Structure formats: C-alpha cells, structure tokens
Structure 1
Amino acid sequence: MKPYRVLLYYIYTPIENPEHYCDEHHQLCLRLNLLGRIIVAPEGLNGTVSGLATDCQTYIDTLKADPRFAAIDFKVEEHDTHAFKKLHVRLKEEIVNSDLPVDPLKRTGTHLEPDEFKKLKDQEDVVLIDMRSNYEHTVGKFKGAITFDMENLRELPEHMHEIEHLKDKTIITYCTGGIKCEKASAFLLEQGFENVYQLHGGIIKYGLEAGGEDFEGKCYVFDNRLTVDVNKVNPKVISTCYRCGTPSDRMVNCANAGCNNHMPLCEACGWQYEGTCSDACFTAPDKRLYDGTGYYQKPTHHYTPFLGYLSRKRSELAVGSSQ
C-alpha cells in the first residue's frame, strides 16, 4: 500500500459567510500538511488534495462531521508522493466555472452509481456525452461517447445544436469526478431533454469501483500526474503522438511556456523535440527545461504552504482597504 492519498471531491451545499469558511478551511489544510487546489463558493466546495494517508483520513472525517458536508463522496486514490507542489484555497463565485443559468440543488440529472452506469451504458437508446474539455477527451473517453470541441463548460450552450436531435434518447453525461455534470445535466433538462442521467463520481469513481470497462485511453487529471489509468478490464490507447502520429497516451504540457499546449507526446518525440509541440516552440526563447515528465511547476521562490496562506490574507486585506 502506498503512503499517500489523493482525494477528489465536491459538494453543492449553501455556505453562509464563505469568506470566513475559506480561511477556516485553509487553516485545516495547513494543520494536516495537505497540498492541492480547493474552491470555496456560496454554492459549495470543490477540491483535489494530497497528503499522507492518516492526514487525508482526518480531513475526510473532519468534513463529514460538518452537517453541510456530510454527503461528500470522496474519490480516494493511492500515490507514492504528494500529487501537488502547493496549496491553493480560493474563494470564487462558482465551484466550477460554467455561467450556466441552473441550480443543481433544485434540479439536475439523475445520479447513476458506477454499477448502474455499467448496466445502462450499452442499451440501444442510451447516448453518452462527455462534458470535459477537448484536451481531456483527446487522451481518453468512453467508447462511443459524444464529445464537444470546447475549452470549458461555459461553451456548452454553443454545442447544443450538435445534440438537438437526441432529445428522445436517454442521455448520460460524464466528466472526471462528476462536478461538471451537476450543472451540465441540469442545463440539458432546461433545454428540453427529458431522460437525463449523470455518472455519479465520474470517471474516477467508475474506475475505482467498477473496473473502468469501456473507458478507452487514460483520464486527464489536474495535478502533477497529468493522467491516470482507469480501465482494468479492456484498456485501449486511443490518442496519438502530436508529433509523429504513433499511438501514445503519454500526456504532456508543451515546454514552451508561451504555448503550454496539452497534448499526447511519445517518449521518443518528447526527448527529440525537448517536450515541444512544434518547431516554433522548439526554438522559443522561453522554452522550459524538459525533464521527461512534461509537467512544469511554477518557480516556488521559497514558497511554503504557510507563506502562501499569508500571501492570500495580505491580498484580501489590500482589496478590502481599496474598496
């Protein structure tokens, strides 16, 4: 068993005085030596964190002891080390950027647990729709799923014409951990789709609890792992190297800091082209040093999680004094 855990979670629940809770939550993560990204908003909580197994369990227990967060469904994965280099706890208007005029607490697609999804996904009138960004589904998606060429969920309304003819079908939406589908499925209902479901816990939970059958490729994640394996039953590589076109599910960020393109790049091309996606990027003046991973951490400048916390507090005070 590996010593660290990576926790992926979200919950839509009203948070009164989110400014105060953001600070409280930040201090909790500092005490438990957790790293990761957490968003606090009036509509709920969304995060991915990593830490030692005992610290992560204390974090889970602490959140679940709070009535507001008792229903959180944590996706827990083992890892050798921290999956993050820093800790960010941010106050925002939404826990996932969407700008969609919906409220998941009032109406959303019916949740399907992994085993239920597995039984339903191949039925004749069922259509799977991927609600993730294009660079995510390029490296992995469910077999036969519809994907959109979009950068983020805010663009979903622009793609409704692509599925307008499917209103009489049973729709199942899915994403990495389930959070995008809460609003995406609600939006589909508002657009006149009647039989709308969502994969509860997303791709990650399906892989952990149901073996990941028929998820082709790897799942893109937003930490220094970049991608994770999901399918333990019938895995398949669906992506190709951005440079040479050979099959590859090895995801990297372009070494040119001005580009930072998310792309599959085979190991040979990675070293040959020093982690870049084009000849222009290969000769770019701000090209970063490629170390074989394709993941680039911003300079820490003697960063520690506590100094990061103090920086956030100073920024809040500066904003408050200017108003």
Structure 2
Amino acid sequence: MSVVELNQENGVAAAAAATVVNIAAYKFVTLDDRDELRPRVRAWAEEAGLKGTVLLAPEGINLFLAGASAGVEDFLGRLRADPRFADLEVKVSHSDAVPFGKLLVKLKREIIRMDHPAIRPEDRRAPSVDAHTLARWLAAGVDDAGRPVVMLDTRNDFEVDAGTFEGAIDWRIQRFTQFPDAVLRHREQLAGKTVVSFCTGGIRCEKAALFMQDVGVEHVYQLEGGILKYFEETGGPGFKGRCFVFDGRDTLGPDLAPEAGA
C-alpha cells in the first residue's frame, strides 16, 4: 500500500501530502549479504533524497527515514523488490521538516541489542494483539478470557518518562540488555495476568515477549506495531503523555504530530 493510500485509509488530512513523510519499519529476516546490501540501500536512499538511519544486522533490518512522499515511495519500491522485504510493513507520520541531519546506513550485530542469540523472531513469534483489540481490553480491564491485563513497558526509563500506558509496569531499565534480568527478578508480578509487552514500533516487544515465554511467563502478547501503530489506528486511548522518538521531533502525540515548534 502506498503512502498516499495509507494517508487516505487513516484519515490524514490531504494537506499532509505536502509535508515531510516519516517512515519507520523493521523486519526480522536473515541477511547474509550485508556488506553488499549496505551500499545498495544507501544509494537508494540518497537518490530518493531521504535522511535518517538504516540498521542492517544478521537478524534483519530496522529503519527510520524521512523525505518527500515521492522519494519515500521510490525507496520502498526498490527495497520491496528484494523478496526478503516484499512484505515490509511501514508506520507513517508527518512533520514540517526532516527530523534527521544526515543519512546513516550501519552494520550492527543486532537490530535491537538484547544479547540473547537464542531469541530469533524470524523463526517464531509470540502471540500479538492488534491496536483495536488492546483498546477494548484496556477499557474493560480484562482480556477476552476474563484475565486482568497488564501493560509492560520494554523501553528505557527516559522514554517511559515522556509517556506510557496508564498503570504500565516500568522496571526503570537504562538499556534493553537489562530487560531479561528484570523479567527474572519480577516474574511473580506477572503471574495470572495477560501481559502485553509494548515499545515504540514493535521491535523490542517482539524479543521481549519471546524471552518471557521462554522463562515460563504465561499469557504473553506483544502489541502489534508498537505505540506508533496504536496511535495511528486508535488515537491512543489509555496512553498518557507522548511517545519518545529518536529523531529531531523528540516526541509524538497520539495524533502522531510533534510538539509545536519541534
């Protein structure tokens, strides 16, 4: 689906077509040709006039890019021509200016570092809950089976401080590599509940949910598409504050707009 179609589907005002398009996407897929892929991806982004960051790791791709709508479409068309990225899902927002100063395409050990190589989302996924279902669960306080629902924030403490779901569990981690130890220390806090792990765009909560499953936490879900998709599809009921993003916008509101003047 094109960015224009996404705008229409999500009810974004037609005026947004004239603003900068910001895209965030990731996919866990084996990349054994990263050295060859890196210059191609960089060339596609440069030719499209995009700025931002692309991470390439043996486990997959993670990207945050911004530019004109036509450039975004061109880049995504080239990327998705590679069968490994044909089904790449993109989260879209808009801003008045490009929130990145330059273009970076980096090779990394992991696209989100956890230091637990046995956690491979390409091979398996924990159950996910979509935005509308989660909004319904939060309004009721229980899931469809009648179990109490708890939201588990997998982000770093400074991100949580900008905003989070009301009543969410926050273990005050400073980096994601601390999350596994935090789970082991607090497993009893999760017993008997439906646990929904969440993060900005979905990438951290994929690994988080799998780790919790592996250590015996029952009834674990990941929020499909993270906070940004939840904002996009529901407008953010139950979320208090704003979502921290790692670019010049700093935070986004439930309307996916940066703060005035950002």
TM interval, shorter chain, is 0.7 to 0.9
Which one has the largest radius of gyration? 1
SS in structure 2 of the partner of residue 21 of structure 1? helix
**4+ runs deviating over 4 angstroms:** none
2:235 aligned to which of 208, 211, 214: 211
* Percentage of pairs with the same residue: 33
What is the CA–CA distance in structure 1 between the aligned matches of 2:220 and 2:186, rounded to whole Å?
A: 16
What is the CA–CA distance in structure 2 between the aligned matches of 1:156 and 1:206, rounded to whole Å?
A: 22
1:22-51 Cα deviation digits (max 9, x unpaired) = 121111111111100110011110010000
What is the CA–CA distance in structure 1 between the aligned matches of 2:89 and 2:156, rounded to whole Å?
A: 23
Structure 1: state its 5+ residue gaps: 233-249, 251-291, 294-323
Partner residue, 1:159:
182
Q: Provide closer, same or farther for how the CA distance between residues 120 and 62 of structure 1 changes in structure 2, counting only shifts above 3 A.
A: farther
Paired residues of 1:221 and 1:228 also in contact (CA < 8 A): yes
Deviation at 1:231, TM superposition (A): 6.0
Paired residues of 1:41 and 1:94 also in contact (CA < 8 A): yes
Mapping for residues 87-236 of structure 1, pairs under 5 Å: 87-100=103-116, 101-121=118-138, 122-123=141-142, 124-160=147-183, 161-230=185-254
Paired letter, 1:176: T
Provide the TM-score with structure 2 as the length reference.
0.85
What RMSD, in angstroms, separates the aligned Cα atoms of the two structures? 1.8
What is the CA–CA distance in structure 2 between the aligned matches of 1:168 and 1:231, rounded to whole Å?
A: 34
Partner residue, 2:11:
none
What is the CA–CA distance in structure 1 between the aligned matches of 2:234 and 2:79, rounded to whole Å?
A: 26
Within the alignment, does 1:36 sit opposite 2:16 as a pair? no
Partner residue, 1:12:
28
1:73-103 Cα deviation digits (max 9, x unpaired) = 1000111111101111000111111112411
What is the CA–CA distance in structure 2 between the aligned matches of 1:24 and 1:231, rounded to whole Å?
A: 34
Structure 2: state its 5+ residue gaps: 1-14
Deviation at 1:115, TM superposition (A): 1.0
Partner residue, 1:80:
96
1 or 2 for the larger relative contact order (CA 8 Å, sep ≥6)? 2
Paired residues of 2:31 and 2:60 also in contact (CA < 8 A): yes
Paired residues of 1:15 and 1:42 also in contact (CA < 8 A): yes
Paired residues of 2:151 and 2:168 also in contact (CA < 8 A): yes
